[in-house]
Amino acid sequence: SDLVPEFQALWTAAQRRPDRQQRGEVKLTRDGGERTLLVRIAAERLAGELLGFVVTFDDVTELLSAQRAAAWADVARRIAHEIKNPLTPIQLSAERLKRKYQGEVTSDPETFAACTDTIVRQVEDIGRMVDEFSSFARMPQPSIGRENLSNLIREVVVLERSRASDIAIELNLPEGDMMLRCDRRQVSRALTNILKNAAESIESRLVREQADDGTSAPGRIAVSVADGRGQGGDESVAVVIEDNGVGLPEAGRERLTEPYVTTRTKGTGLGLAIVRKIMEDHQGGLRLEDRPGGGARITLVFRDMEETANDGEKDPMKVATGLGLG
């Protein structure tokens, strides 16, 4: 305990009760970082005589942090679920009220329509935020399969076209089907988040220019894919998404992929954090650049992954409890 004063309390206890093994968590702060050790002290005896004490310790810092993250994710998932459940009936009821009684309300039909529309819109916003929040909290280990990347991108683009119908989304895919070993749901999620940001930054530009002088270039997003595999290149597939929106903010660019960093009033700041996590899990990359001529150019770089049988082995909670802690 002269060497490690933090062990003092355990050490005193061990000397007082040499018949019992003492065990406890000890926090150490060295060189500015805090580590948590699991320390055990047991008496060593020979023929009833106390020879000394054996001290063993394990560094459980990472394990505890994984446990905490898993516990937090679990709470977040449950809360998100509880919030989402009532949203659909609220929305359907508001829509039904509007459909059914729109014609019957005579005293102030405008207010009636405005209020029901507000309910529907706000409920949609809550739903989207909760989706983003829970998918960030969830972020399962990717389950890798051989996927048709061309189709996957087409599907995401079709959905986005119907959501932002005033924006022209151009798609440039190489000929033939591109296959990639990846997690299809996560890759769709990443693309959707990037397209959503692009559409939002175009909307911001249009709103701003409307206020300035009323003339605007129409919104345009271009998605193009370059497959560098089998060409002696770096064996990667690059998906480039360009928009003619407001452009990335000048300041604090390197922090845009951190959770909760947003410049939008209704933003969650989770979109790019999710994309970054997905790209890290795919051993790929994410580049945020200016598009020549205005707007942003986002590049996602994918590599073929090893296929996995996703058996939940890597669930941090299971790893932690599997080691018999606590």
Ligand X SMILES: Nc1ncnc2c1ncn2[C@@H]1O[C@H](COP(=O)(O)OP(=O)(O)O)[C@@H](O)[C@H]1O
- Interface residue list for Mg ion (CB under 5 A): 197, 271
Q: Is 269 left (phi over 0), alpha (psi -120 to 50) or beta?
A: left
Question: Using the rule CB under 6 A, which residue among 182, 246, 300, 305 binds ligand X?
Answer: 246
Contact pattern from residue 261 through residue 280 relative to ligand X, giving x for each residue in contact according to CB under 6 A and a dash for the rest: xxxx--xxxxxxx-------
CA 233 to chain CA centroid, nearest Å? 30
Q: Are strands 145-148 and 179-182 parallel, antiparallel or unpaired?
A: antiparallel
**CA separation, residue 20 to residues 29, 58, 137 (Å):** 28, 19, 42
CB of 65 to ligand X, least distance (A): 23
From the list Mg ion, ligand X, none, partner contacted by residue 256 (C-beta under 5 to 8 A by kind): ligand X
CB of 291 to ligand X, least distance (A): 9
- What DSSP assignment string belongs to 137-183? HH-PPP--EEEEHHHHHHHHHHHHHHHSTTSEEEEE--SSPPEEEE-
Rounded-to-integer distance, Cα 17 and Cα 13, Å? 6
Contact pattern from residue 278 through residue 297 relative to ligand X, giving x for each residue in contact according to CB under 6 A and a dash for the rest: ------------------x-
**Which single residue brings its beta carbon nearest to ligand X?**
271
Q: Quick one: 67 or 268, whose CB is closer to ligand X?
A: 268
Nearest partner of 132 among 270, 281, 272, 279, judged by Cα: 270
Contacts of 232 (CB under 8 A, 6+ apart): none
From the list ligand X, Mg ion, none, partner contacted by residue 247 (C-beta under 5 to 8 A by kind): ligand X
Q: Which of residues 181-240 bind ligand X (CB under 6 A)?
A: 193, 197-198, 201
Rounded-to-integer distance, Cα 193 and Cα 222, Å? 15
Q: Which residues of 116-145 are buried (b: 16+ CB within 10 A; e: fewer)?
A: beebbeebeeebebbebbbbbbebebbebe
Q: Which of residues 294-323 bind ligand X (CB under 6 A)?
A: 296
From the list ligand X, Mg ion, none, partner contacted by residue 201 (C-beta under 5 to 8 A by kind): ligand X
From the list Mg ion, ligand X, none, partner contacted by residue 262 (C-beta under 5 to 8 A by kind): ligand X
Tokens of 110: 């405008």
CB of 305 to Mg ion, least distance (A): 25
CB of 323 to ligand X, least distance (A): 35
From the list ligand X, Mg ion, none, partner contacted by residue 285 (C-beta under 5 to 8 A by kind): none
From the list ligand X, Mg ion, none, partner contacted by residue 248 (C-beta under 5 to 8 A by kind): ligand X
CB of 325 to ligand X, least distance (A): 34
Residues that bind ligand X (CB under 6 A): 193, 197-198, 201, 243, 245-249, 256, 261-264, 267-273, 296
